[in-house]
Chains A and B, each alone.
Chain A
Amino acid sequence: MKEKIFEAKDVVIKFNLRGKVLTAIRGASIDLYHGETLAIVGESGSGKSVFTKSFIGMLDKNGWVESGTMKMDGVDFSQYKTEKEWLAIRGKKIAMVFQDPMTSLNPVKTVGEQIREVITWNFGTEKEEAKRQAIELLRQVGIPEPELRYRQYPHQFSGGMRQRVVIATAIACRPRILICDEPTTALDVTVQAQILELIKRLQKELDMSVIYITHDLGVVANVADRVAVIYAGQIVEHGLADEIFKDPRHPYTKALLRSLPQLGVRGHDLHSIKGSPPNLYKEIKGDAFAPRNPEAMKIDYVCEPPFFKVTDTHYAKTWLLSEQAADYRRELEQKNGEQELLPAAPVDFSSAEKLVQVKNLTVQFKLGRSRFSAVKNVTFDIHRGETLSLVGESGSGKTTIGKAILKICHSSGGDILYKGKSVIGKLPRQEMAAFRKSVQMIFQDPMASLNERAKVEYIISEGLYNFRLFKNDRERQDKVAQAMRSVGLLPEYVTRFPHEFSGGQRQRIGIARALALEPEFIVADEPISALDVSIRAQVINLLNKLKREKGFTYLFMAHDLSVVRFISDRIAVLYKGQLVELAEAEELFAHPLHPYTNALLQAAPVPDPDVERGKKVAVYNPAMHDYATDLPEWTEIRPGHFIRANRAELESYRRRLEAEA
């Protein structure tokens, strides 16, 4: 093993919040070795960010390191207090990249100046020389025309480019450790792949160690040499990436890996973790994960487990590894004997009624003086009972299409038919009401989709009131209770306000609100992307259950192809307002034709280190199409598989399909 360059030991971090002292980190330790990438994986509230921020003295003002040590080069800096002390560490020894590149750069200074000032300040370099170095750094992080870009302001850069600038700034002083705090979460999947590649390249070139914080196990599989899993302020398991992914030992790690939508089997429920991560206001006794673990042992509630050794590099903090638990382990193994789930056969909905027909839909927005088309000429049908997913990155127009179908957003051209009737333009009052009752929406952000000032009772009853769907108040209350139960919440919670619920629960309340109207068609706009990993499976299972039981039809919007694979019957890929490909889900994964579909598929990180390691990032460049004379058309290349291509491309795609068959 390589030389250990940093060690944090038994770190306890406390916060003073609204007069209460909370313990955010409850004795966490990590080691970092020269030249490696250590990924710290955890959900929101697990303390992963707080933990690493404490390494460079960036805790919020109400937080402090209560005990523990942080050592680098034999110096313990865990008790540094003043900004001046931290100057010795920040930038030069440890640097950090934040999550959101849009806010990490000062908007009124040129990007060049923001890099140059670090060099000038830390090394006392002459201005001209520092400028030269800054331009070199911009080139190193892959920014074209660095001399020109040096003089530009942050708002002239795209998100991915800004993150490159931030990384250039962070490595300007040749730090030995680079902490990346979810650096790609705010970026598109294809951009994320490029940034991950950049970080890996820089790590080699500069011989740095990287601490990578993320909630995304796919990203972990891509970047990590070693992985530490953090839950409720403690590291619960750590080991080499292969060990964690292939032989997880802590019940939390196991459950997390099993609940990934990417691993879902069509027609079966995802393995889901019940409940939500613990609230730090509550005192935690024993194993913090035990209350959510149906297989927890009695001792888990009594006594906090120590780390048990699995291999020289792999440790897990669970009583399951204790010698005394050998019998119980055997019992579990027998019970959980791996049974291979067989995927259900794809259902063909093409003969079912066309519930929604979108024909040549175009949506334009005014942008200053010019007009800009968010959606261009999009055509597709949704059959009753199926789930159609629209997949695209930010700016692809997927949300706009959803909103146009819902009539919350205007449409500038084309037609939308619901149950065979056009719903474009102003509808007669009655028809409008019937339409509203039948079509509902589920939102991305559970924090923004519920009115904080209303009780859950009103929120769920809102639609019932509007359509007078009850004879007396008794009946209304029954309907609310029924909706609550069908999303797995206790009916007595209806007297509470939304902020008393966790993110996953709020999302389910949002679903209950739509459910109460007994709609037929539901538009779900990225309903899981704002949720914690361990919660996502609950919501996906719920949506699938409702589909089975109530026969809902879904239009599902997502940015990540791999996540929608198992819930979708058909998938449509959007690029800059245009559909580029649409096919039955398995067909699309088996025979992706359009280069953009391919780029998306390759960019999405898969939670398997073997797959991720050999991966090459494919960059989609729309200029690759030669559409000068041979214009592209929306063509059904084989039954149910549509693609936007011109004649020449169609020809080559056909040949490819034949070769594959």
Chain B
Amino acid sequence: MDEKTVSVPENLPQELFARAEFHEEKLEDTGFSNYSYWRSTINTFFKSTTVKVVVALVLIMAAYTVIYPMVTERDPYTVSLSAREWNLPPSREHPFGTDGVGRDIWARVWFGTRTSLLLSVAVAVFEVGLGVVIGALWGFYRKLDTVMFAIYNTLTNVPSTIYLVLIAYIMKPSVVTIIIALVATGWIREARWFRSRILALREVDYNVASICLNTPTRRIIGRNVIPHLVSLIIMDAALTIPYSIGSEVFLSYIGVGLPADLCTLGNLVNQGRSAFLVYPFQMIFPTMILCFITVSFYIIGNKFADASDPKNHL
């Protein structure tokens, strides 16, 4: 906005001051990129070096825990009668040393990792699966509110460790017991969380449009609701894993965990703990592996949560 006369470039060719061709069809192409939600989520997720490294290591480790027990000849449960085999420090023969009765810790760690991973993955699947199904029902059927809120309050107002300890105490110690105990205390939070997400999605216009088009409810859930929740489901499952592994350690510390003779990371850590002052390696190695797993999944879950938010897409 200048009061001064505006300077006009001179010597513009006169033929430019004539009608230009008008391309109406071009106008409809607004030039938006061919963005895809999943591609962008994955790209954003793997943008971070931390994630690349962590995911690679987790994959390698997971593969190793599957392959090692199949190919190794070493039995993690073989006790040595010779005292010379007891409490050996790490060596070529025993990379993580041996424990108080001469069992090879390397073998025990990988068998233990397998048990713990299986256990925590099972918990993640059942807990999140149950949570999604019940959360979806809860979200779509208002009548369930009274019952579900009563259950919710009963289960969440008391710290879950209490229920966990109680269930583990009552039932016989076994892998199934721990899975049941963890799922029983965890599913309701998942259900509540998915309920609130589904409530928010349920009233969205495109679902109303689907109702107008006479789309059956199960297809509305399948096509319109669940696809928006998949990233949340993945993230939740990933975050359940460190919690399950931690709980296993906690339960075996309290004495209501898995049978002491079974190889699990929780048992290994707790057994190593008693010998820690004399033979620290017996605890350090299992602890390192355990912490690596929990920290990795924690980071993966959180980074995935960030990456799945379209606001953070690159």
Contacts and interface: CB of A to CB of B under 8 A. Distances in A.
In-complex A–B contact (CB below 8 Å): yes
Interface of A: 18-19, 29-31, 228, 235, 238, 274-276, 279, 281-282, 290-303, 306-309, 312, 315, 319, 322, 324-325, 327-328, 331, 403, 406, 408, 432-433, 436-437, 439-441, 443-445, 448-454, 458, 462-463, 466-467, 488-490, 493, 496-497, 499-502, 505, 510, 513-514, 517
B20 A297 contact: yes
Interface stretch (B144-152, B158-166, B210-218): B210-218
B213 A328 contact: no
A296 B31 contact: no
A322 B30 contact: no
Contacts of A505: 28, 30
18 contacts: A29-B2, A235-B1, A276-B27, A279-B31, A282-B31, A298-B16, A298-B19, A309-B6, A322-B12, A327-B17, A439-B212, A441-B212, A453-B227, A453-B228, A496-B34, A502-B32, A513-B213, A517-B213
Interface of B: 1-3, 5-9, 12, 14-20, 22-28, 30-37, 204-206, 208-216, 223-224, 227-228, 313-314
Nearest to B214: A436
A467 B214 contact: yes
Contact of A296 (B22, B208, B209, B214): B22
A292 B27 contact: yes
B215 A408 contact: no
B303 to A, nearest CB: 17
A300 B22 CA distance: 12
A238 B227 CA distance: 48
Given A322-B8, A433-B214, A513-B213, A299 B32 contact: no
A307 B4 CA distance: 11
B37 A453 contact: yes
Given A279-B30, A319-B17, A324-B12, 13 more contacts: A29-B2, A31-B1, A279-B31, A295-B22, A298-B16, A300-B20, A306-B8, A307-B6, A315-B6, A328-B19, A408-B208, A433-B214, A501-B30
A5 to B, nearest CB: 13
Q: Most A CB atoms within 10 A — which of B5, B22, B205, B213?
A: B213
Given A436-B212, A441-B209, A441-B212, A19 B314 contact: yes
A153 B20 CA distance: 59
A449 B210 CA distance: 10
Contacts of B208: 403, 408, 441, 443
Given A297-B20, A306-B7, A328-B17, A489 B214 contact: no
Given A298-B20, A497-B36, A502 B30 contact: yes
Nearest to A305: B8
A43 to B, nearest CB: 14
Given A312-B3, A490-B25, A505-B30, A448 B215 contact: no
Given A281-B31, A319-B17, A497-B35, A294 B22 contact: yes
Given A18-B313, A282-B31, A294-B22, A299 B16 contact: yes
A428 to B, nearest CB: 14
Contacts of B214: 432-433, 436-437, 463, 466-467
Contacts of A403: 208
Contacts of A500: 30, 32-35
B18 A298 contact: yes
Contacts of B19: 295-298, 328, 331
A488 B204 CA distance: 26
A433 B1 CA distance: 61
Contact of A328 (B18, B32, B215): B18
A299 B17 contact: yes
Contact of A238 (B1, B23, B206, B211): B1
A275 B1 CA distance: 29
Contacts of A274: 24, 27
A505 B27 CA distance: 11
A297 B17 contact: yes
A67 B20 CA distance: 33
Contacts of A302: 16
A436 B208 CA distance: 12
Contacts of A467: 214
Pairs of residues from A and B, 8 with the lowest C-beta to C-beta distance, nearest first: A275-B27, A299-B16, A436-B214, A453-B227, A449-B205, A463-B213, A500-B32, A448-B205
A406 B209 CA distance: 11
Contacts of B216: 466
A437 B12 CA distance: 60
Nearest to A302: B16
Contacts of A444: 205
A290 B216 CA distance: 47
B215 A462 contact: yes
Contacts of A437: 214
Given A19-B314, A462-B215, A448 B18 contact: no
A276 B30 contact: yes
Given A452-B37, A505-B30, A290 B212 contact: no
A108 B168 CA distance: 45
Contacts of A292: 27
B16 A408 contact: no
Contacts of A450: 206
Contacts of A493: 28
A105 B26 CA distance: 44
Contacts of A445: 205
Given A306-B9, A315-B6, A488 B28 contact: yes
A513 B31 CA distance: 23
Contacts of B22: 293-296
B212 A301 contact: no
A443 B205 contact: yes
Q: Which of A18, A30, A312 has the most CB of B within 10 A?
A: A18
Contact of A29 (B1, B213, B223): B1
B68 to A, nearest CB: 40
A449 B212 contact: no
A288 B139 CA distance: 48
B26 A291 contact: yes
Nearest to B30: A502
Given A497-B35, A502-B30, A443 B209 contact: yes
Contacts of A432: 214
Contacts of B26: 291
A324 B206 contact: no
Nearest to B213: A463
A309 to B, nearest CB: 7
B17 A298 contact: yes
A187 B209 CA distance: 27
A299 B11 CA distance: 13
Nearest to A463: B213
B21 to A, nearest CB: 9
A609 to B, nearest CB: 20
B18 A297 contact: yes
A118 B243 CA distance: 48
A308 B213 CA distance: 54
Best-surrounded residue of B17, B32, B215 (most CB of chain A within 10 A)? B17
Nearest to A293: B22
Contact of A290 (B5, B9, B20): B20
B8 to A, nearest CB: 6
Contacts of B206: 448-451
Contacts of B3: 312
Contacts of B227: 451, 453-454
Contacts of B211: 408
A403 B224 CA distance: 20
Q: Which of B5, B28, B215, B216 has the most CB of A within 10 A?
A: B28
Contact of B35 (A228, A328, A499): A499
A440 B215 CA distance: 13
Contacts of A453: 37, 223-224, 227-228
Given A324-B14, A325-B17, A453-B227, A306 B213 contact: no
A10 to B, nearest CB: 10
A324 B17 contact: yes
Contacts of B2: 29, 307
